[in-house]
Amino acid sequence: MPQRRAITGRSQEPRARFAEELRLLRNGRGVSLRGVAEVVGWDASQFGKMEHGHTLGGPEIVEALDQYYGTGGMLLTLWELAVADPTQFKERYRRYMVLEAEAVSMWQYSPSIVPGLLQTPEYAAELLSQGGLTGVELDKQVAARMGRREPLLAEGGPQFRALLSEAALRSPMSTPAEWQAQLRHLLVMGGRANVIVQVQLLAAGLHGLPNTDAMFLRGTGGRTVAWVETGYSGELVQETQAVDLLQLRYDRVRDMALSPGASREFIERMLEEAPCEPSI
């Protein structure tokens, strides 16, 4: 079957097509980004980023644009296709990696595993292998994860606060010695001037981030974005209202967590209780 020819000459890549349609619609109206913002809401910079393909925005803002332009749901359809495009996760993650490397402060909540920036190579390897990675690709991903720690370890590195659920400390590695090394590494990292480690006890009860691994990044300009992730996918959240809501939930989890000192004592107890030899 011959390859389908493009009829309109517009982009066939979902994300690029979405951004292109936004530009065409605004130019057709003869309005500026600020003019759109004054009517629709949100920051003009958000619309600019969407038109340049730097972000897809959320469904609320796209629905508002559909109403403003009178496009009858077309923009929301294009947005859904762009979000569902499997190539988008890698693009979003690459953008997140750039922002993480440039961040002046970071704070994270991890509901079930040790946060990536605090993992030992052995922990990272076991975790990634459980996700199906093997051989050269596994080694490559472990090395990349370890490379992410370099800015944190450098002199004058960014401030980093990690909240980790007790569940992460109740899920040991298959090799006891390597698990002990991971616990000791948490203590070492928590002793750094720019790193705070806190434990969220299961007994503290329900909270607003039960199954969401969330990392917040503040850049040099003071703007905060968030990366939320599951075991399957991740999303870079840049819309101010959405980031603020996630931040509120994070703050409430932080308020429920053990203090840094009490968290250190808890990890030390976990280290003392950790088995020295594999169970038979």
pLDDT of residue 275: 75
pLDDT of residue 280: 47
Burial 194-206 (b: 16+ CB within 10 A, else e): bbbbbbbbeeeee
- Give dist(CA 44, CA 69) in Å, integer: 16
Confidence of residue 5 (pLDDT cuts 50, 70, 90): very low
List the domain range (segments joined by +) for residue 147.
Answer: 87-273
CATH number reported for the structural domain that contains residue 240 in this entry: 3.30.870
Overall average pLDDT of the 251-262 stretch: 97
Same domain, 129 and 46: no
pLDDT of residue 2: 47
Residue 258 maps to a domain: yes
CATH number reported for the structural domain that contains residue 28 in this entry: 1.10.260.40
| pLDDT per position as a tens digit, 153-199 | 988 899 999 999 999 999 999 999 999 999 999 999 999 999 999 99
Overall average pLDDT of the 206-219 stretch: 92
Overall average pLDDT of the 237-264 stretch: 95
Domain boundary among 55, 84, 113: 84
Question: For the chain, what percent of residues have pLDDT higher than 90?
Answer: 54
DSSP of 52-100, one letter per residue?
A: TTS----HHHHHHHHHHHT-TTHHHHHHHHHHH-THHHHHHHHHHHHHH
Same domain, 207 and 241: yes
Using the predicted structure, report yes or no on whether residue 253 has a pLDDT greater than 50: yes
Structure tokens at 263: 């968290």
Q: Which residues pair with 216 in a beta bridge?
A: 107, 226
Confidence of residue 16 (pLDDT cuts 50, 70, 90): confident
Same domain, 52 and 167: no
Name 112's Cβ contacts closer than 8 Å, sequence gap at least 6. Answer: 165, 167, 168, 171, 213
pLDDT of residue 185: 97
How many domains, in total, are found in the chain?
2
Same domain, 119 and 225: yes
Same domain, 67 and 201: no
Most confident range, picked from 5-14, 87-96, 259-268: 259-268
Using the predicted structure, report yes or no on whether residue 86 has a pLDDT greater than 70: no
Residue 93 maps to a domain: yes
Confidence of residue 4 (pLDDT cuts 50, 70, 90): very low
Residue 5 maps to a domain: no
Same domain, 105 and 213: yes
Same domain, 208 and 105: yes
Question: Among 58-62, 147-151, 232-236, 243-247, whose mean pLDDT is lowest?
Answer: 232-236
Name 139's Cβ contacts closer than 8 Å, sequence gap at least 6. Answer: none
Residue appearing with tokens 């001037």:
193
Same domain, 98 and 76: no
| pLDDT per position as a tens digit, 106-152 | 999 999 999 999 999 999 999 999 988 899 889 988 998 898 888 89
Distances (CA, A) of 3 to 6, 10, 81, 183: 9, 16, 21, 55
Domain boundary among 66, 84, 102: 84
Same domain, 122 and 247: yes
C-alpha atoms less than 13 angstroms from C-alpha of 187 in its C-beta half-sphere: 16
Q: Give the three-state DSSP class for 237.
A: strand
pLDDT of residue 26: 94
pLDDT of residue 42: 80
Same domain, 126 and 264: yes
Same domain, 80 and 100: no
Contacts of the segment 172-177: beta carbons below 8 A, 24+ positions apart: 172/274, 173/122, 173/123, 173/126, 174/126, 174/278, 175/122, 175/278, 176/274, 176/275, 176/276, 176/277, 176/278, 177/276
DSSP 102: H
Residue 182 maps to a domain: yes
pLDDT of residue 45: 83
Name 36's Cβ contacts closer than 8 Å, sequence gap at least 6. Answer: 26, 44, 47, 65, 68
Most confident range, picked from 7-16, 118-127, 226-235: 118-127
pLDDT of residue 1: 43
Using the predicted structure, report yes or no on whether residue 279 has a pLDDT greater than 60: no
Which conformational region is residue 41 in: left (phi greater than 0), alpha (psi within -120 to 50 degrees), or beta?
left
DSSP of 152-174, one letter per residue?
A: HHSTTPPEEEEEEEHHHHTS--S
Same domain, 223 and 124: yes
Contact 243, 107 (CB under 8 A): no
Residue 105 maps to a domain: yes
Contact 167, 202 (CB under 8 A): yes
**Cβ neighbours around 209 below 10 Å, total:** 19
Q: Which residues pair with 159 in a beta bridge?
A: 105
Mean pLDDT of all residues belonging to the chain = 87
Domain boundary among 42, 58, 84: 84
